[in-house]
Amino acid sequence: MQNRRIVLASRPTGWVTEDNFRLETVELPPVAEGQVLVRNEWLSLDPYMRGRMNEGRSYAASQPLNETMIGGTAGEVVESRNPKFAAGDKVVGYFGWQEYGVSDGSGLMKVDATRVPLSAYLGAVGMPGVTAWYGLNRIIEPKAGETVVVSAASGAVGGVVGQLAKIAGCRAVGIAGGPEKCRYVVDELKFDACVDYKNEDVSKALKAACPNGVDGYFENVGGAIMDAVLPRMNAFGRIALCGLIAGYNGQPIPIGNPAWFLVSRLKLQAFIISEHLDVWPQALKELGAHVAADCIRYRETVAHGLENAPAAFIGMLKGQNFGKQLVKLT
């Protein structure tokens, strides 16, 4: 069988371009004893991939050149020589940017696509959802009546954070770009308020949206957004640092006034969700129940065809997606 894949052809300097990728067709090896062959139906595109494209020290190894781009996938087993899997099983794994994947079963998880749509296992009931669950519950530790602010609130992670905060009895305030995204955050995701960073003075708007200050902040962006939130933080506030997308395509953006950490005795905890696999079963169980009960809603932006993954990835880094960015492969 032949398999199409996208490899990293060169490392980007500044903004990613489509020239950094290459589409290839390669032969698939026969399925050996103990292995399964999966036809990927969905590919997840996530901001963390941008950091992995760089060379240098980070929390994980760099994406190798001329190898299949990393990424989460959801699909169907089409051939199995592994007793734990059968043809027809729906599975989630990390086969990356390619149409087929072969695995010995390690890191491959069977999922129930009759209860929750298969694509959701790459979003609200997948890595982004667990990221939201961990940052909120284990770092921010929300208490009923507190105010939680979320940057990139219309995204795959941020949207879940705010909805979980509401379930915990908190006031949820989002920050998103543009009136359409802010309407979605308030009207569909049921946040209490949303600040439009593209059209509002974020500092003034946050003051109005958070009359009692901010107790917990889930950070996906950094840069000017973080600088606007820090002065609004209450004493002993907690910040879960998930991402710093504002600086992913250029030089890192320093914090404008780090004195706020001392003035307000803030806790800032960064985390990488792959280092907390022990919480995944509990988080996925709760997230799946919330999605099935329509207590957590989500939106997806879908590109069609593997060849369109690079353009969709670049668009996501520029904030052009709405909710979770996916590529439909079949």
The confidence score (pLDDT) of residue 56 equals: 76
**pLDDT tier for residue 60 given thresholds of 50, 70 and 90:** confident
Residue 219 counted as domain residue: yes
pLDDT score of 58 more than 80:
no
Indicate if 139 and 263 belong to the same structural domain: yes
Rounded to whole angstroms, the Cα distance separating 49 from 37 reads: 24
Quote the number of domains for the chain.
2
In the chain, the percentage of residues whose pLDDT exceeds 90 is 89
- Cβ distance 4 to 95 under 8 Å? no
Indicate if 116 and 132 belong to the same structural domain: no
Domain that holds residue 107: 2-123+299-328
Rounded to whole angstroms, the Cα distance separating 106 from 34 reads: 11
Rounded to whole angstroms, the Cα distance separating 274 from 143 reads: 26
Residue 223 counted as domain residue: yes
CB burial readout 296-312, b (16+ within 10 A) else e = bbbbbbebeebeebbeb
In the chain, the percentage of residues whose pLDDT exceeds 70 is 100
Indicate if 131 and 30 belong to the same structural domain: no
- Cβ distance 220 to 161 under 8 Å? no
What CATH number does the domain containing 152 carry? 3.40.50.720
Q: How far is CA 140 from CA 2, 209, 268, in A?
A: 47, 19, 9
Q: Which long-range contacts (CB under 8 A, 24 or more apart) does 25-31 make?
A: 26/2, 27/1, 27/2, 27/3, 28/1, 28/2, 28/3, 28/100, 28/102, 29/102, 31/79, 31/80, 31/81, 31/102
Element spanning 149, H or E: strand 147-151
Residue 288 counted as domain residue: no
Indicate if 138 and 34 belong to the same structural domain: no
Residue 281 counted as domain residue: no
**pLDDT tier for residue 249 given thresholds of 50, 70 and 90:** confident
Residue 283 counted as domain residue: no
Indicate if 115 and 136 belong to the same structural domain: no
Residue 289 counted as domain residue: no
Rounded to whole angstroms, the Cα distance separating 168 from 145 reads: 9
Element spanning 5, H or E: strand 2-8
Indicate if 68 and 132 belong to the same structural domain: no
Q: Across the strands, what pairs with 233? A: 214
The confidence score (pLDDT) of residue 2 equals: 95
Indicate if 307 and 239 belong to the same structural domain: no
Q: What is the mean pLDDT of the chain?
A: 95
pLDDT score of 251 more than 80:
no
What CATH number does the domain containing 38 carry? 3.90.180.10
Residue 286 counted as domain residue: no
Rounded to whole angstroms, the Cα distance separating 237 from 242 reads: 16
Residue 284 counted as domain residue: no
Q: What are phi and psi of 7, to 5 degrees?
A: -110, 160
* Range of weakest confidence among 57-61, 62-66, 122-126: 57-61
